[in-house]
Amino acid sequence: MSKPDYSETPAENAIIVGEVMQEIEKNLSLKSRIIEALKQGGKEAFKELIDNPAVNILMASIDGWNNAE
């Protein structure tokens, strides 16, 4: 079974991540839960859960949150 194709280009992936980051930033409870899930389950499990080519960009943004806290 092949993975679904969520976007066509790296630019579209960046747009997707930007929109996701804006929504997460609006919801501090969700942001905290995501950070805690990463601490407990690890990055690779989180990447598999999301299953989207834009996940590496998203992970870099989330790493920025972890480093800021």
With cut-offs at 50, 70 and 90, classify the pLDDT of residue 53: confident
What is the average pLDDT score of the chain?
Answer: 79
Residue in 25, 2, 10 with CA at minimum distance from that of residue 57: 10
Identify the residue whose tokens are 């990447």: 47
Residue in 6, 37, 9, 11 with CA at minimum distance from that of residue 24: 37
What is the mean predicted confidence (pLDDT) over 37-41? Answer: 84
Q: Residue 68: its pLDDT value, please?
A: 67
Regarding pTM above 0.85, the answer is: no
